[in-house]
Amino acid sequence: MSSTHDLSSTPNHGGRPTRPSQEERRTRHGHAGVVIWLTGLPGAGKTTLAHAMERTLFDRGFNVMTLDGDVLRGGLNSDLGFSAEARRESVRRAAEVSALLAATGVAVIVALISPFEQDRRQARERVTAAGAGARFIEVFVDAPPETCEKRDPKGLYARARRGEVKNMTGVTSAYEVPSAPDVHVRTDQRSVDECAAAVLAQVLTA
């Protein structure tokens, strides 16, 4: 079988191909890897904000993607429930995936409730430990519980009140408010575009 790629011409050291350097990746993408971690109550607006930022960064030439909690539950996290232990494992997996992507220069937006402070701290440590100069930006997407419940885009609050959903964050399971987020946006007071601009101002400061 023939190949259009001549392995004999591949630059190497000791006979082995060299991996792209982080400087090469940055030059190719025009930016370093970054993880923008959106945390907040269900209905706070994380996914809406993530998609708005993804569009803006893409239009600016970023290699960007969103890891949304609901999408992850349909695949990578399909075996997990909603207990505290399962939520911790969900955050751990999302952190591992985002760290790997950021290490190759991708801008990763994670939209995940991630209710526990310790788990979010460990996610930051995992991303920054991966090296390659990737940054971790924690964004607290904030809205009062009553506003989130009034929005209730998936009907989860109503179902939780009826006892149909167990371990519902903000109803029967606690949410630990970030003590020192890198960015704090109030989606009940500012538009999606205004919130996105506040986060992107931090992302583009590099």
Q: Where are the alpha helices (DSSP H) in the chain?
A: 22-29, 46-59, 69-73, 84-103, 117-129, 145-151, 156-161, 192-203
CA distance 70 to 98: 16
Residue 62 in contact with residue 31, Cβ under 8 Å? yes
CA distance 67 to 187: 20
Token code pair at residue 138: 């924690």
Residue 98 is a catalytic residue: no
What is the Cβ-side half-sphere exposure of residue 155, based on CA atoms within 13 angstroms? 3
Catalytic residue among 3, 8, 98, 114: 114
* Residues acting as catalytic residues: 114
